[in-house]
């Protein structure tokens, strides 16, 4: 090699080494990215039962005590007055629920009391939460968990919602259908308690999801609202197919769960109420819905008008 050629190689060598180094790093990054995507794909492909789930109940809380009512055993860290108020509220729910579903009331009573865990405040609930991070309450059989919302006008509505799921599962033993399950939870959880009695369908503006009625942005044109993503079509609600993600539409879903149940019990003078009770007992499939209630597309327009009326009469506006 001539001196000129050697000098040329010496000048290029650092650049060549740098290029080889960068190529190596790039290849490693691509490999890691592909491996990560493959791992994610394998995780998504696992059956639900094989995935880790937050199924363990919270550990017992120091200082908690058990307060018993006629139908409930409440493990509570809230004070005596707060626990008493929640106990009265769930007993009012229990009585209203059995009156609302006479067939359930004819069954033998539970041998053991229904179990609730009541936390003194949201921070304590969050520290022991075994559900979704955004949950305000949850039911993990056989216990309903919630906190006492002392800064709210209705401090027990979260527990009423979860205690309704508990009644559906442990007392009525209804088939589990998402839209009906959450519809009943919001329906009873957002019903007013007056003079110690829960009045199904009388709307409490201080309960979830009622305070979101004004925020869902309906235009009074059903087709336009579906196109704009402001309305989840009834077939998507019932079947879960072609439905938007609930994670980015939580409040819209829950307003519609609540309002569909409210409509089926009370809309058009209550004409669908008995058929809806049968639907709840048989399972809320689209086939059962159309057999017992009517064509989904026609019912959807009646339901949409019912919700518009409920928004106009919303307790938050009065």
Task: Quick: pLDDT tens for 141-180.
Answer: 999 999 999 999 999 999 999 999 999 999 999 999 999 9
Q: Which of 45-49, 209-213, 227-231, 294-298 has the lowest mean pLDDT?
A: 45-49
Q: Determine the pLDDT at residue 54.
A: 53
State yes or no: pLDDT of 45 exceeds 50. Answer: no
Q: Determine the pLDDT at residue 60.
A: 86
Query: What's the mean pLDDT in 285-305?
Result: 98
Q: Determine the pLDDT at residue 316.
A: 55
More confident residue, 281 or 2: 281
Domain boundaries, the chain: 65-173, 210-317
| Band of residue 52 on the pLDDT scale cut at 50, 70, 90 | very low
| Band of residue 22 on the pLDDT scale cut at 50, 70, 90 | very low
pTM of the full structure = 0.82
Q: What superfamily does domain 65-173 belong to in CATH?
A: Collagenase ColT, N-terminal domain (3.40.30.160)
Q: Determine the pLDDT at residue 214.
A: 87
Q: Would you give the DSSP letter of residue 35?
A: H
Residues, the chain: 318
């Amino acid at each position: 090699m001539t001196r000129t050629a050697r000098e040329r190689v010496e000048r290029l060598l650092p650049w060549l080494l740098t290029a080889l180094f960068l190529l190596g790093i790039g290849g490693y990054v691509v490999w890691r990215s592909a491996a990560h995507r493959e791992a994610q794909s394998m995780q998504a492909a696992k059956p639900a039962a094989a995935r880790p789930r937050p199924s363990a109940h919270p550990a017992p809380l120091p200082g908690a005590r058990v307060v018993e009512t006629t139908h409930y055993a409440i493990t509570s860290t809230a004070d005596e007055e707060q626990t008493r108020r929640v106990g009265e509220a769930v007993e009012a729910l229990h009585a209203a629920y059995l009156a609302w579903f006479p067939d359930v009331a004819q069954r033998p009573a539970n041998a053991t009391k229904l179990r609730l865990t009541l936390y003194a405040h949201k921070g304590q609930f969050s520290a022991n939460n075994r559900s979704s991070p955004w949950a305000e309450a949850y039911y993990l059989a056989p216990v309903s968990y919630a906190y006492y919302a002392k800064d709210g006008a209705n401090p027990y509505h979260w527990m009423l919602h979860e205690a309704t799921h508990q009644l559906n599962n442990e007392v009525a033993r209804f088939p589990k259908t998402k839209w009906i399950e959450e519809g009943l939870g919001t329906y009873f959880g957002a019903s007013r308690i007056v003079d110690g009695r829960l009045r199904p369908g009388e709307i409490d503006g201080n309960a979830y999801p009622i305070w979101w009625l004004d925020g869902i942005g309906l235009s009074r044109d059903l087709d336009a609202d579906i196109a704009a993503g402001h309305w989840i079509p009834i077939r998507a609600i019932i079947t879960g197919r072609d439905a938007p993600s609930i994670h980015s539409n939580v409040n819209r879903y829950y307003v519609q769960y609540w309002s569909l149940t409210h409509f089926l019990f009370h809309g058009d003078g209550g004409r669908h109420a008995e058929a809806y009770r049968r639907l709840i007992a048989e399972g809320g499939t689209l086939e059962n819905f159309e057999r017992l209630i009517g064509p989904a597309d026609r019912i959807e327009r009646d339901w949409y008008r019912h919700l518009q009326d409920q928004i106009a009469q919303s307790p938050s506006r009065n």
